[in-house]
């Protein structure tokens, strides 16, 4: 939609497609089935981002050992705005953002690989824990239908243990 619109408006032959923020990607995968099933008014999002997410050279090992960096520049703004655009719609000429409020806090933590997100949601429609679990476990996307060799069989793995997920134990789940 938007690519064709911009090509027509500006006479472009090619285009550049960008990816959303890394934390936004994981967050939206989990929010999508819940947004579709129950609607979301508000989300309070906390990210605990691995040192690998800072790129090279990243956070100095002496700065992160035995430490948490409680703010990652520009991350919170992206996490607060990008999901609304992704979960919203497109009317043929512009994006229509999903009507929800997101408050985000981004933290760098001493984990080598694997971001973790905790999220509290206020749904538009009342939902039980069982209904939320069913919406998450039942979610399918085009990825499964395409049967790509690197695509996971399931996009979302629901863990019911109180102490999970943990990056060291679950990053390859």
Average pLDDT for the chain:
91
Query: pTM of this prediction?
Result: 0.88
Among candidate residues 64, 35, 44, the one with its CA nearest the CA of residue 52:
64
The tokens describing 65, both together, are 């050992």
Tokens 């990243």 identify what position? 58
- In the set 5, 10, 22, 84, the catalytic residue is 22
Instruction: Assess contact for 52 and 112: CB atoms under 8 A.
Output: yes
Instruction: Assess contact for 54 and 108: CB atoms under 8 A.
Output: yes
The tokens describing 132, both together, are 């939320």
129-149 pLDDT, tens digit per residue, is: 999 999 999 999 888 888 889
Active site residue 115: yes
Q: At what angle do helices 22-38 and 75-87 cross, to 10 degrees?
A: 40
61-117 pLDDT, tens digit per residue, is: 778 889 999 999 999 999 999 999 999 998 988 889 999 999 999 999 998 888 999
Active site residue 119: no
Cα Rg of the chain, angstroms: 18
């Amino acid at each position: 939609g938007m690519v064709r619109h911009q090509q027509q408006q500006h006479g472009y032959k090619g285009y550049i497609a960008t990816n959303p923020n890394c934390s936004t990607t994981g967050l939206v995968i989990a929010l999508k089935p819940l947004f579709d099933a129950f609607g979301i008014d508000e989300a309070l999002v906390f990210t605990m981002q691995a040192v690998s997410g800072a790129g090279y050279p990243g956070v100095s090992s002496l700065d992160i050992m035995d430490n948490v960096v409680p703010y990652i520049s520009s991350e919170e703004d992206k996490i607060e705005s990008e999901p609304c655009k992704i979960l919203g719609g497109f009317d043929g000429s512009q994006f229509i953002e999903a009507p929800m409020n997101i408050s985000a806090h981004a933290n760098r933590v001493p984990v080598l690989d694997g971001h973790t997100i905790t999220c509290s949601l206020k749904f538009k429609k009342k939902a039980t824990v069982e209904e939320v679990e069913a919406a998450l476990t039942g979610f399918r996307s085009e990825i499964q239908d395409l049967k790509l060799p690197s695509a996971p069989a399931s996009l979302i793995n629901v863990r019911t243990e109180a102490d999970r997920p943990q990056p060291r134990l679950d990053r390859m789940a």
